């Protein structure tokens, strides 16, 4: 698929406030890293723990929405997931949005598993690597 074919028009696929409510209820148990690269970037590039990802999601605002697209995870079979992407500066120590250049802005792309209970993380990395 080309990048144009992967784009999903019409705005976000998921209602952000509902995703945040889900994270508030289930915490890190609701997270799964659908792409091996997302796990690697989380640990090596960001030095984050899964709880930092929960804080990031809870701090997101809809004004940070960056588009939607079809995405494939690392597992098999290769099934496309609808995903939403956001970009936001975030301070993991204060668990709040931070617009300053440091720490770096984060690109975050997620979808939901077919059971609609698991937040599948496809990408989480410094936004300057896009």
Sign of the C-alpha dihedral computed for residues 63, 37, 14 and 91 taken in this order = negative
DSSP notation for 54-105: HHHHHH--GGGEEEEEEEE-SSSS--EEEEEEEEEEEETTTTEE--SSSSPE
Q: What is the mean pLDDT of residues 57-80?
A: 87
Judge residue 17's burial from the number of C-beta atoms within 10 Å of its C-beta, 0-12 exposed, 13-18 middle, 19 or more buried: exposed
The pair of structure tokens assigned to 100 is 């300053």
Domains of the chain by residue range: 3-129
| Tokens (6 digits) for 83 | 């995903």
The residue with tokens 């698991």 is 118
Give the global pTM.
Answer: 0.89
Residues 80-127: pLDDT tens digits? Answer: 889 999 999 998 888 898 877 566 799 999 998 766 788 989 899 989
pLDDT tens for each residue of 34-59: 888 888 888 888 888 999 999 999 99
């Amino acid at each position: 698929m080309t990048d144009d074919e992967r784009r999903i028009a019409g705005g976000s696929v998921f209602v952000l406030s509902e995703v945040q409510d889900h994270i508030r209820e289930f915490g890190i148990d609701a997270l799964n890293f659908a792409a091996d690269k997302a796990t690697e970037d989380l640990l090596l590039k960001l030095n984050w723990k899964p709880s930092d990802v929960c804080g990031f999601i809870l701090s997101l605002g809809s004004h940070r929405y960056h588009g939607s697209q079809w995405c494939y995870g690392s597992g098999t079979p290769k099934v496309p997931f609808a995903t939403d992407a956001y970009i936001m500066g975030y301070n993991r120590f204060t668990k709040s949005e931070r617009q300053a250049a440091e720490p770096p802005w984060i690109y975050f792309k997620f979808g939901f598993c077919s059971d609609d209970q698991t937040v599948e993380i496809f990408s989480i990395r410094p936004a300057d690597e896009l």
